[in-house]
């Protein structure tokens, strides 16, 4: 094959740019970009930290100046601080396919993974005390692995790391709980939540899902697929801000049996009774621990306003179109063999990011950022690009791929 000429490259660039313009013109979600604080940078790192919604600064100003500054402690009642964990959980619920009353917001993802996993083992042992294995995704984000190891020590279980493809073969009569990621953080691979949950249940075990890289990007269907427990962060596709609180989902049918390893005064049935004996609250509040982190929690609540009138199905459709178009543009602009996509081509196996293996990936990402295209780098050789359909457009995608091609050629 002959090398492309400058004229050919220019024609391809023009063709892709024209196509991007047409796709943006037909984008039903395009107007949502105005709900965020953005500049002329192509921001493709929303899978690490979502952009700032315009509603957050003003709301936080009210929280700090009026609610905290003037009302002070009265705000626990008058401003609804006390009920924020459940109220905000109910706003997240439709985005992950859950009915109200099953999600509580608070603590970090790591803490919630620990609560969910130990709680899952305890649930499994209510019907079979001999279950003494925890199966965990061997390719998981490190914190899930660390927490799974700690949960195994606490419950006297053996930890069994396996790849998601081998989970079914690893299940058996000793399996108590299974911790899996809905979307792989490195590759963007979407795992089959419905069938894997069904397999876990068929083995008599409890399914725990980490939704950090799927909530707000694609349909999850927690209730529909009978997921037992789930956790997720809120600072990625939910745009809650750096360090915004995570959440814990406990399926309604399991709530009266969920035994958290971190009982706190906030999850007590009578939190202000100050009793020395612990009695768990009914429903989702038993997933609480200590005093809610009100400032970051209420920033998250304001951030969720961007979802008003938006369906997760429309977001998913645009996400797939964005990632398809990016891969097509990379194919046009990047010399053959220079990058390798780790993200599955099949829609049913793809989240909302594209991961490219690339020599000198760290240096390449540094140069991309210098030229106004922000993604991120994962050691040793992965370029990650996250596509948040609420504010990323097709023109952004074309520009990102074109600049990537120029950087790699330079």
Catalytic residues, which ones? 141, 210, 235-236, 384
Location of structure tokens 């700090």: 64
Q: How far apart are CA 377 and CA 356, in angstroms?
A: 10
Output the six-digit token pair for 404. Answer: 């990537």
Nearest 5°: the CA angle 323, 326, 331 is 130
Output the six-digit token pair for 15. Answer: 């063709």
Q: Using the Cα atoms of residue 379, residue 380, residue 383 and residue 388 in order, give the sign of their dihedral.
A: negative
- Stated as kind and residue range, the H or E segment containing 175 is strand 175-181
Output the six-digit token pair for 95. Answer: 């985005």
DSSP 232-289: E-SSSTT---TT---EEEE-GGGTTT---SS--GGGBSSTTS--SS--BPSSGGGG--
Q: How far apart are CA 34 and CA 244, in angstroms?
A: 22
Q: Which residues contact 277 (CB under 8 A, 6 or more apart)?
A: none
Question: How far is Cα of residue 344 from the mean position of the Cα atoms in its chain?
Answer: 18
Pairing of strands 133-137, 158-162: parallel
């Amino acid at each position: 094959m002959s090398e492309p000429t400058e004229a050919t490259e220019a024609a391809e660039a023009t063709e892709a740019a024209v196509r991007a313009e047409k796709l943006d013109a037909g984008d039903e979600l395009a107007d949502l970009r105005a709900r965020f604080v953005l500049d002329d940078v192509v921001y493709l790192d929303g899978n690490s930290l979502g952009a700032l919604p315009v509603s957050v600064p003003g709301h936080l100003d009210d929280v700090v100046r009026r609610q905290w500054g003037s009302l002070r402690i009265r705000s626990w009642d008058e401003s609804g601080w006390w009920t924020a964990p459940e109220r905000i959980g109910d706003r997240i619920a439709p985005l992950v396919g859950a009915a109200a009353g099953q999600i509580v917001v608070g603590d970090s993802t790591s803490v919630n993974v620990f609560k969910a996993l130990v709680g899952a083992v305890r649930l499994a042992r209510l019907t079979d005390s001999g279950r003494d294995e925890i199966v965990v995704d061997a390719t998981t984000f490190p914190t899930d692995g660390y927490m799974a190891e700690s949960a195994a020590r606490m419950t006297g279980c053996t930890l069994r790391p396996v790849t998601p493809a081998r989970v079914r073969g690893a299940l058996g009569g000793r399996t108590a709980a299974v911790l899996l990621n809905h979307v792989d953080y490195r590759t963007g691979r979407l795992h089959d939540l419905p069938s894997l949950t069904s397999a876990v249940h068929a083995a008599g075990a409890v399914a725990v899902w980490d939704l950090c890289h799927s909530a707000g990007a694609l349909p999850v269907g927690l209730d529909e697929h009978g997921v037992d427990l789930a956790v997720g962060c809120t600072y990625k596709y939910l745009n809650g801000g750096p360090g915004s609180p995570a959440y814990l989902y406990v399926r309604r049918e399991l709530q009266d049996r969920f035994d958290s390893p971190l009982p706190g005064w906030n999850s007590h049935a009578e939190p202000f009774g100050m009793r020395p004996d612990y009695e768990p609250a009914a429903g989702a509040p038993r997933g609480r621990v200590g005093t809610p982190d009100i400032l970051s929690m209420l920033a998250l609540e304001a951030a969720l306003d961007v979802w008003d009138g938006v369906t997760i199905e429309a977001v998913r459709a645009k996400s797939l179109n964005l990632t398809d178009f990016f891969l097509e543009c990379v194919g046009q602009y990047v010399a053959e063999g220079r990058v390798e996509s780790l993200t599955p081509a099949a829609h049913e196996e793809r989240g909302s990011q594209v991961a490219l293996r690339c020599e000198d990936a760290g240096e390449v990402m540094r140069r991309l950022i210098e030229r106004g295209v922000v993604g991120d780098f994962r050691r040793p050789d992965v370029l990650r690009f996250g596509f948040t359909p609420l504010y990323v457009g097709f023109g952004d995608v074309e520009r990102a791929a074109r600049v990537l091609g120029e950087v790699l050629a330079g």
